[in-house]
Chain A
Amino acid sequence: MIIEWSVKALVIILTLTAGFAYTTLYERKLLARMQVRIGPNRAGPAGLLQPIADAVKLIFKEELIPAKADRFIFILAPIITVIPALIITAVVPWGRSITLFGREIPLYLADVNVGVLYIMAITSISVYGITLAGWSSNNKYATLGGVRATAQMISYELALGFAMIAPVMMASSMRMIDIVEGQKTMWYAVLQPVAFVIYFAASLAEINRAPFDMPEAEQELVAGYHTEYSSMKFATFFMAEYIKMIAIAMIGSSLFLGGYLGPFVDQVPILGPIYLAIKVVAWLFVTIWIRATLPRIRYDRLMQLGWKVLFPVALLNVLVTAIVVVLIG
């Protein structure tokens, strides 16, 4: 059992890390195409080795720690940020069971009955890493970026949390597998369109993506909370950001878009991870498309959108769902 779990955990972490490397390339290529450029095409065929070249470059760069920085917290902050990103998808099922080497192997790591709660709890932890990174750098841009990121992430976490309650109510379970299996007849994105839209908007703010990329507004804050980070420490923050992007897409696909479900998945269970991957890639495409299309919104408008629009509407959506289900059945 322990070996099986370890192998699965390793597969998840390796998939996310490789996924991170190629999401950066995917984003650069897509943005280039949308701006009528070609994008990275020098390293390897069609630029496919670009992420490896980037990683090698970052490894051999000098690592700077500012003289007046709080050294311990400065080193700890990237680690606190990247661990939640790596473990958040542990509860997302990749499919049903497959038979491999004569053994029945379920395609999920942990089937805990508090899946959604686990996701909400782990998402909150990465906020600490960002706050500490901003504060420990002893840099004005980093401090401002850090508090901005914290305020934005905790504000949108409310809307995100209430949007995630809607699928839980539909499935009457917090177990991710029950939620995915509950979408056999109809995706929850169709039954809960309001919750789906709120989840999508709030998740963009939660992972600091455009048009909510205030914490990293280059024109006013240089690079926000990771201004003073260089070399692999910068790469760690970058990795956390992109892995969170993938994680949000995986969770969103499982909660609203039917996760691993698709045609013929009953007969051929190995199709499950493929369907999930297709949905994640499509989700990432929309995320990048939005970055190429929309300008950044002003900070006060951003906070007002979170508190005055998304949060009340998400709460109202939960109440209306409850009333409709209890009274009509």
Chain B
Amino acid sequence: MLVEYIPLLIIFLLAFFVALVVQGLGAGFGPRRPTERKGQPYESGMVPYGPGTRRISVRYYLVAVLFILFDIEAIFILPWAVVYRDLGVSGLVLMIVFIFILEAAFVYAWKKGALEWE
């Protein structure tokens, strides 16, 4: 059973190795002459001012929270999508109720303006 996953481990290790080699090529062959000017953040040629990382708008956090909510919904639907033919009408009704409850939350978020982007 778990033996099916060994190839995935192998390709992961190989991909990790390839990623490290690619990084090593750049570090090994490229010149390295850092100066103070080169170390400054790029701001289209202007003298940089203020901190580089500022506070991020709260809207992005809202999107992340909504994403988690509905992504978990997708994970619950996926196993049902495999066996829904065997579960028949009762499984279908249960899933419709489940989706309906979650979509009520979606409609609420929509009406509250959580999906608007100014």
Contact = CB atoms under 8 A, between A and B. Distances in A.
Q: Do A and B originate from a single complex?
A: yes
B105 interface: no
Contacts, number: 215
**Do most interface residues of chain B lie in helix, strand or loop, or is the interface mixed?**
helix
Given A151-B60, A157-B67, A157-B71, A67 B4 contact: no
Contacts of A323: 92
A236 B102 CA distance: 39
Given A141-B42, A165-B81, A319-B96, A233 B117 contact: no
Given A63-B27, A303-B117, A143 B71 contact: no
Given A13-B15, A82-B15, A140-B52, A325 B115 contact: no
A231 B30 contact: yes
B8 A222 contact: no
Contact of A165 (B19, B32, B74): B74
B83 interface: yes
B1 to A, nearest CB: 9
A326 B10 contact: no
A239 interface: yes
B18 A13 contact: yes
Contacts of A200: none
Contacts of B19: 78-79, 82-83, 86, 236
Contact of A228 (B32, B34, B41): B41
A315 interface: yes
B71 A158 contact: yes
A147 B11 CA distance: 30
Given A2-B10, A67-B40, A110-B4, A79 B67 contact: no
Given A110-B8, A151-B63, A165 B23 contact: no
Interface of B: 4-8, 10-12, 14-16, 18-20, 22-23, 25-27, 29-34, 36, 38-44, 51-54, 56-57, 59-60, 63-64, 66-67, 70-71, 74-75, 77-78, 81-85, 88-89, 91-92, 95-96, 99, 103, 106, 110, 115-118
24 contacts: A13-B18, A59-B25, A59-B26, A61-B26, A62-B32, A66-B40, A68-B39, A83-B19, A109-B7, A110-B8, A120-B74, A138-B41, A139-B41, A141-B42, A147-B57, A154-B63, A162-B77, A231-B30, A235-B26, A303-B115, A322-B84, A322-B95, A323-B92, A326-B85
Interface of A: 2, 5-6, 8-10, 12-13, 17, 58-68, 75, 78-79, 82-83, 86-87, 90-91, 109-113, 116-118, 120, 135, 137-141, 143, 147, 150-151, 154-155, 157-158, 161-162, 165, 168-169, 172-174, 222, 227-228, 231-233, 235-236, 239, 299-300, 303-304, 307-308, 311-312, 315, 318-319, 322-323, 325-327
